[in-house]
Amino acid sequence: MAADFLDDYIEAVATALALPVEAAWKPAVKANLEVSLRLAGLVDEFLLPDETEPANVFTA
């Protein structure tokens, strides 16, 4: 996701989640989101078998 799209994305998700994001906060939110997406991309590009089980905590 290109950073240019992030302003619109932040606006849209903030509206969808009813999160208040004031104009003064947006540069820092955007900077953090860029880091998160870059690191998530590093994980995303790593191919895993379809049957890989997520490692969330759960005990039936």
Partner 1 sequence: MSLQPDPAKPAKADALSAAEIASAVQGGKVTALSFIEATLARIARHDALLNSFTDVTATRARAKARAIDSAIATGKNPGPLAGVPFAVKNLFDVQGLSTRAGSKINRELPPSARDASLIERMEAAGAVLVGALNMGEYAYDFTGENVHDGPSRNPHDVTRMTGGSSGGSGAAVGGGLVPLALGSDTNGSIRVPSSFCGIFGLKPTYGRLSRARSFPFVFSLDHLGPFARNVVDLALAYDATQGSDPDDAGCAMRPAEPIMPLLNQDTGALRIAIAGGYFQNNLFPEASEAVARLAKALGITRVVEIPEAARARAAAYVITTSEGASLHLDRLRQRPDDFDPAVRDRLLAGAMLPAPLVERAQKFRRWYRTQVLELFKSVDVMIAPATPCVAPKLGQTTFVLDGVELPVRANIGIHTQPISFVGLPVVAVPVPLEPMPIGVQIIAAPWREDIALRVAYALERAGAVCAPPPRGL
Which residues here bind partner 1, judged by CB under 8 A?
A: 9-10, 13-14, 17-22, 25, 28-33, 35-37, 39-44, 46, 48, 52-57, 59
Q: The tokens of 53 are what?
A: 């089980």
Least Å distance, CB 55 to partner 1, is 4
Least Å distance, CB 60 to partner 1, is 11
Least Å distance, CB 40 to partner 1, is 4
- How far apart CA 5 and CA 21 sit, in angstroms, is 16
| DSSP SS3 for 24 | helix
Distance between first and last Cα of the chain: 37
